[in-house]
Amino acid sequence: MPSARRNMFAKILLSAASLLLAHLLRFLCSLMQFLPGFKNYLPSPAKEQILCHRPRGLQCISPLVQSVEETPEPIPAKIKGHIPKWINGNLLRNGPGKFEFGNDKFNHWFDGMALLHQFQVAQGRVSYRSRFLQSSSYVRNRQQSRIVASEFGTLAMPDPCQSLFGRFLSRFEPLKPSDNSNVNYVLYKGDYYVSNETVFMHKVDPETLETKEKVDWSKFIAVNGATAHPHYEADGTTYNMGNSYGKHGSSYNIIRVPPQESGHGDTLEGAKVLCSIPPMDRAKPSYYHSFGMTENYIIFIEQPLRMNLLKIITSKLRGKAIFDGISWEPQHNTYFHVVNKHTGQVLPGPWCSKPFVTFHQINAFEERGCVVLDLCCQDEGTSLALYTLQNMRRSGEGLDQVYASIPRAFPRRFVLPLDLDSDTPVGKNLNPLPYSQAKAVKGADGKVWCTHENLHPEGFEKVGGLEFPQINYRGYNGRRYRYFYGCGFGHLVGDSLIKVDVETKNFKIWKEEGSYPSEPVFVPVPNATAEDSGVILSVVVSPTENQSAFLLVLDAETFRELGRAEVGVPMPYGFHGIFSAH
């Protein structure tokens, strides 16, 4: 066949194949309407995305996610600049600090054994100490010099000393929740606990960091865990959320723990489930890390980051880690649930928005019949699976590619109108607040569709988004406020500190090359009258050899450095903490 005729024949075949493919895709899209779940296998439609800053040549941070030794006896810090003498108390921090036992290595950043840190500040001086939490997981792993207890991203292997049949049978044993409480410090009845998100917490001594007592939530109320981000009232009442799993599936539970009172014990006695909320899909409840609270309401965000209970229950049998059972399902919307925290009544709503994921709420308050809810939001729910230790220890182009694949979190405001009934107009923006551009529009189906307002200016993506938000909690949680603080994420971990003005949307930034600051903690000056009268405390670490970790003290108003306290021991990058005033 002549060359010209062959080329013409090839073009005809290519055109026919393209036409056939187009018809096939159209047919599959039509079929999708009749086969539930089929659309999960088709590519998602194109959608508007935030253009994120894509830096190249990121510094390797592998030293920040390596095992370190504990420092149980306090060591003095070297002061540079000025530490205000009115600061008197302990900055308590929590996070992973050991990532292997024997030849066994953890897979995920969240799996590392809890290392508790204390920076004691008094009279302008600072000392540092750290201790490993003596959890059952830590003690058993250390005794057997291998990973015995499964964690979020690591499945513990059967005992190699068992027979082949014994190792096979161990696959059928139920997966036990870890008590590696490595996420945060929390307060109940004036006592200090460390917590993750399982059914176990540990009471600790905030002065010595000694592990005192292991506490099981299920011994007090019918829940299978609780978040590491409770909310507190001035009288010591604590609110939290936890899931429960039963024969009818799962439930989201609002928990109330009373303050210390005569007649109640000093752990969780007197705790009660205020109300239970059924998930959209009881077999696949939403994963959540925190929630919002105003003067009168609890706000729970049910997001399409879902836990497949069957997969999680059978993870050991399937040889998979727990996080294999968590999936991002953007075909579903995000829903807001509002609960009266005095009566336990769930308000009818419902309020919904396009799919997003939030791990940390900033603040929430009530105004003119609405709840205003400020959150750090990601448009994709894929970040949990990307924080493996292998990814975090990469360097060069591989590290740049991992960072480019991780969704950024941005601060956003939602306004939820509460006064809804059958007479509420359809198609009208129900947000009455003149200072907010957020929208809330009731649809013909009765749902109120909420569109967020950005709490940041244009160009904010260059700081990498913002996470680990904090406010002047004691003075402004649940109230209208003006400032919040957080970490800019120009890397896989925080690489800057940011102060945001929610009224002007302007921001101030602290950044130092090669330094990685932790979650900022606000400490108010005594008898303060202004919202930002105080200091920001942050623990700053570096992967650079011979560069000391230090406690950074910033003036919260100007965001300028007042001083730092350098500590000459290796310190990994951690998660959360609190300031305990003396």
| 176, 199 Cβ separation under 8 angstroms | no
| 158, 112 Cβ separation under 8 angstroms | no
Number of H helices, E strands in the chain: 9, 37
Q: Residue 363 is encoded by which pair of tokens?
A: 């603040």
**Residue 264 to residue 100: CA distance in whole angstroms:** 41
- Strand 453-454 vs strand 89-98: parallel, antiparallel, or unpaired? unpaired
531-569 pLDDT per residue, tens? 999 999 999 999 999 899 999 999 999 999 999 999 999
**Listed range (190-194, 264-268, 335-339) with the worst mean pLDDT:** 264-268
74-130 pLDDT per residue, tens? 999 999 999 999 999 999 999 999 999 999 999 999 999 999 999 999 999 999 999
> Which residues, 6 or more positions from 525, have their beta carbon under 8 angstroms from its beta carbon?
84, 86, 533, 534, 535
413-441 pLDDT per residue, tens? 999 999 998 889 999 999 999 999 999 99
**Backbone dihedral angles phi then psi of residue 266, each to the nearest 5 degrees:** -100, 10
Query: How many Å separate Cα 568 from the centre of its chain?
Result: 29
**Residue 582 to residue 580: CA distance in whole angstroms:** 7
490-546 pLDDT per residue, tens? 999 999 999 999 999 999 999 999 999 999 999 999 999 999 999 999 999 999 998
CB count, 10 Å around CB of 540? 22
| 132, 138 Cβ separation under 8 angstroms | yes
**Residue 272 to residue 111: CA distance in whole angstroms:** 30
pLDDT at 164: 54
Q: Over the range 9-39, which residues count as b (16 or more CB within 10 Å of their CB) and which as e?
A: eeeeeeeeeeeeeeeeeeeeeeeeeeeeeee
- Strand 272-277 vs strand 292-293: parallel, antiparallel, or unpaired? unpaired
pTM of the model: 0.88
Amino acid at 570: P
**Residue 541 to residue 96: CA distance in whole angstroms:** 14
**Residue 576 to residue 582: CA distance in whole angstroms:** 20
Determine the average pLDDT of the residues in 253-260.
Answer: 95
Of 394 and 249, the structure prediction assigns the larger pLDDT to 394
Identify the band that residue 40 occupies on the pLDDT scale cut at 50, 70 and 90: very low
Report how far apart, in Å, the C-alpha atoms of 399 and of each of 123, 171, 392, 446 are.
42, 35, 7, 46
Helix (H, G, I), strand (E, B) or coil at 571: coil
Burial, 51: exposed, middle or buried (Cβ in 10 Å; 0-12, 13-18, 19+)? exposed
Find, among 322, 95, 66, 100, the residue nearest to 194 by Cα: 95
Q: Residue 563 is encoded by which pair of tokens?
A: 């001083």
Question: Residue 392: is its pLDDT beyond 60?
Answer: yes
Q: Over the range 349-373, which residues count as b (16 or more CB within 10 Å of their CB) and which as e?
A: bbbbbebbbbbbbbbbbbeeebbbb
| 404, 54 Cβ separation under 8 angstroms | yes
**Residue 413 to residue 433: CA distance in whole angstroms:** 12
Report how far apart, in Å, the C-alpha atoms of 251 and of each of 280, 305, 353 are.
10, 16, 21
For CA atoms 37, 42, 44, 46, the dihedral sign is: negative
Name the residue with tokens 């670490």: 541
